[in-house]
Amino acid sequence: MQVTKRPAHTRAGEAYPTEIGRASLTVVLLEAVLWASSRADSQNPTRSLRSAALAPYVFNDSRHDTVFDVVSRRHRELEAEKRVTRIGGRWDELVDAESIGLGDVQPVLTTGRLLVWERDSTIDDGVGQAETKGYLDERE
């Protein structure tokens, strides 16, 4: 599976029409799986999958900047833990996922599930908090 060397910033309306765009999205998803694999506790998603270190800057200009903050911090944590390999060169060069440490989590993209949250379609009623065991809070 081809990925980029590190995640790219996304923009509003991004549709990932290019191979590089799709490869960047793939590295984001694989890194999320790898990061969560050693931390996830289905009985306590709030404490296991949210950390102060990953908290985005609250005054970002857009939701895309906020998401990119989390993606970038998670990527740097994985590098610091030596769970992904830093490769020099341009970010948009394609490499094999296995070569940067993401080989073991590749099957999750075909067998796993993603939690999708659409902020603009959400009512701040606390249902998300109950349904996700606190992963989303009362405002999400």
In a domain, 14, yes or no: yes
In a domain, 134, yes or no: no
Q: Does residue 43 surpass a pLDDT of 80? A: yes
Q: How many domains does the chain have?
A: 1
Q: How far apart are CA 116 and CA 68, in angstroms?
A: 16
Q: What is the pLDDT at residue 138?
A: 66
Give residue 20's Cα distance to chain centre.
17
In a domain, 124, yes or no: no
- Give the confidence band of 139 by pLDDT, cuts at 50, 70, 90: low
Distances (CA, A) of 55 to 40, 60, 67: 17, 12, 10
Give residue 79's Cα distance to chain centre.
14
CB contact set of 64 (below 8 Å; sequence gap of 6+): 9, 10, 11, 12
What is the reported pTM?
Answer: 0.81
In a domain, 24, yes or no: yes
Residue at 139: amino acid letter = R
Average pLDDT over residues 118-129: 74
Q: Is 96:104 a contact under the CB 8 Å cutoff?
A: no
In a domain, 122, yes or no: no
In a domain, 123, yes or no: no
In a domain, 61, yes or no: yes
- Domain span at 33: 2-113
Q: How far apart are CA 71 and CA 126, in angstroms?
A: 25
In a domain, 15, yes or no: yes
Identity of the highest mean pLDDT range in 12-16, 34-38, 62-66, 116-120: 34-38
Distances (CA, A) of 123 to 62, 91, 134: 20, 38, 16
Q: How far apart are CA 6 and CA 57, in angstroms?
A: 20
> What is the Cβ-side half-sphere exposure of residue 122, based on CA atoms within 13 angstroms?
16
